[in-house]
Amino acid sequence: MVYRAHVLLSSAAEQSGEIEQALLDSLYNLNLQDEVQVLEVATLGNPRLEPQIVVYPEGIQYVKLTPENVQHIVEEHLYKGRLVEDLMYVEEPVEPLPAPSTKEIRVVLRNIGKIDPLNIEDYIAENGYQALAKALTEMTPEEVMEEMKISGLRGRGGAGFPTWLKWSFAQRASGDAKYVICNGDEGDPGAFMNRRVLEGDPHSVIEGMAIAAYVIGAEKGYFYVRAEYPIAINTLRVAIEQAREYGLLGENIFGSGFDFDIEIRMGAGAFVCGEETALMHSIEGKRGMPRTRPPFPAQSGLWQKPTNINNVESYANVPQILLKGGEWFASMGTEKSKGTKTFAIAGKVKRTGLVEVPLGITIREIVYDVGGGILNDKKFKAVQTGGPMGGCIPEQYLDMPVDYETLGKVGSIMGSGGFVVMDEETCMVDIARFFMEFVQDESCGKCVPCRVGTRRMLEILTDICEGRGKPGDIERLEELGEYIRKGSLCGLGQGAPNPVLSTIKYFRDEYEAHIYDKQCPAKVCRKLIEYKIDPDTCIGCTRCARNCPVNCISGEAKEVHVINPDVCIRCGICSQVCPVDAVHIY
């Protein structure tokens, strides 16, 4: 049937049943039922405007309706073709957008959002390249290293190795050529700290690399950036060209006799290439797989030459340390974890996004002050730090300081700065399964425990989530996790069991509920839940039955409806459209 007009009706409001009835009655009274189609939708947006409809083809939105003015709209708009202006939606004055009240300190991100990344002079105006000038003209490599030692900067890629020590190994190693590499292969799902630095302030990283090259005696640097960051790569390319033009890369920089230049290498998306030895294989054009260490890159790295490899954020800290002094940097953070760290806050918080906070800040401060608290004011359940190989930290550690050692103690890692917040509606077994699926997919396959073990762990977790869990599964997971951790070469395998082991440690009861009671306490795992209609609440409006995609709800109008659990796919649409909240999950 062809209709001349369509009315979208939001079923989100409590009164939407009456509105619908009024709409259908008025259409019928004017004999418009074959000309105008009424379509129910879950929501039309802004809940403050409910009950609301949108009339097409004009696309007019009528808001805050009553059954009486719905009748008026049908008569005027749909019958006579006149718009009802006083019921139409007018854009309300927007309340001023509040900026987050933060506990942020910006060191790495100091220039981002302030300067034009495509204009080197903007960076120079913010004291850009002053640190390189100072290092090259006033300081010996040893003096630079000493300043780095005082600062206490540790690797921001995750492992937290002291940066000055890494530099000193590469400096002492002998070789006819040496290299510096910047690891910009940021692959953790939901992490974009490095991307933001590369897109917003590429010169700070270039300057940091040049200083590192000066210290270890390298003339050549490589940027390894994943191809999924096209804007970052383009910005970086422009930045390198401009630095060459201004003589800040190239030969005899600042008349000091120091030569240095940088090339970009793009990663093809393999997660494991963020591991330093795999990354160097990838630059060399080989298959990106990790190798045994020692020899460490500082002795034998890229093309078997001494190589220093640091993360984007580590390098971006360097110019500030030289300009303001190691003492200044060390004044931020804790005894062993100095300075600031960027985190990508994701998950169930009000303000997701990228923040930079001093190390030693508590998890509570990050979640509630910086992140604005849990979405919809639900209850905090856990936070996963450090990307897919990090562990889940439960509520009891909310007041724990965030630093390298403390995170390690509770079974997680700093990683590159992922920070995924979970609320009470998150199933911890399902989360563990999700991350296991990721690492299983990204395992390069070199080490058998990682290749086969993660696969087995994923199968067990999937069984548990789908109601096939059996006694002994938890112990099996723990045992496998231990083997994988011990028997893998690189951080991917060594860290892969973390999400599973930490959730078993802190949320064992949830695993047991899945295995023994075949229940998902968070009501997430579809195979373990059932949607039921409460016969005392159901008003027989038929809405659930009409919206069910698999037609598994039966019942006559004005009578109680019933869901057939054998056909139901647990999509939850019935519970969304029910006007009286009669559909519950069991």
Name the site residues for other proteins (rule: CB under 8 A): 93-102, 104, 109, 112-119, 121-122, 124-125, 127-130, 133, 137, 192, 195-196, 199-201, 229, 231-232, 246-248, 252-255, 351-356
To other proteins, the closest distance from the beta carbon of 259 in angstroms equals 13
To other proteins, the closest distance from the beta carbon of 349 in angstroms equals 11
To other proteins, the closest distance from the beta carbon of 394 in angstroms equals 27
To other proteins, the closest distance from the beta carbon of 340 in angstroms equals 13
Nearer to other proteins, 57 or 257 (CB): 257
Please answer whether residues 113 and 202 qualify as being in contact, where contact means their C-beta atoms are separated by less than 8 angstroms. no
Nearer to other proteins, 246 or 303 (CB): 246
The DSSP secondary-structure symbol of 201 reads -
What's the Rg (C-alpha) of the chain? Answer: 30
| Dihedral sign of CA atoms 64, 69, 74, 79 in order | negative
DSSP string, 559-582: S--EE-TTT-----HHHHH-TT--
Nearer to other proteins, 169 or 254 (CB): 254
To other proteins, the closest distance from the beta carbon of 99 in angstroms equals 5
To other proteins, the closest distance from the beta carbon of 51 in angstroms equals 26
Nearer to other proteins, 216 or 354 (CB): 354
Residue 230 CB-density burial (10 A; 0-12 exposed, 13-18 middle, 19+ buried)? exposed
Shortest CA distance to 41 belongs to which of 33, 32, 52, 30? 52
Nearer to other proteins, 166 or 196 (CB): 196
Nearer to other proteins, 319 or 394 (CB): 319
How many CB atoms sit inside 10 A of residue 536's CB?
Answer: 7
For residue 81, what are the contacts with CB-CB under 8 A and spacing of at least 6? none
Strand partners, 380: 423
Query: Buried b vs exposed e over 4-22: b needs ≥16 C-beta within 10 Å?
Result: ebebbbbbbbeebbbbbeb
Nearer to other proteins, 136 or 298 (CB): 136
Nearer to other proteins, 104 or 478 (CB): 104
Please answer whether residues 184 and 225 qualify as being in contact, where contact means their C-beta atoms are separated by less than 8 angstroms. yes
To other proteins, the closest distance from the beta carbon of 205 in angstroms equals 13
Strand partners, 41: 10
Nearer to other proteins, 116 or 143 (CB): 116
Cα separations in angstroms, 278 against 213, 396, 416, 492: 21, 37, 17, 11
Retrieve residue 458's tokens.
Answer: 């994923």
To other proteins, the closest distance from the beta carbon of 246 in angstroms equals 6
**Angle, helices 312-324/141-151, rounded to nearest 10 degrees:** 100
For residue 364, give the H/E element and its range: helix 363-364
To other proteins, the closest distance from the beta carbon of 351 in angstroms equals 7
How many CB atoms sit inside 10 A of residue 571's CB?
Answer: 14
Nearer to other proteins, 251 or 475 (CB): 251
Query: Buried b vs exposed e over 266-279: b needs ≥16 C-beta within 10 Å?
Result: bbeebbbbbbbbbb
To other proteins, the closest distance from the beta carbon of 240 in angstroms equals 14
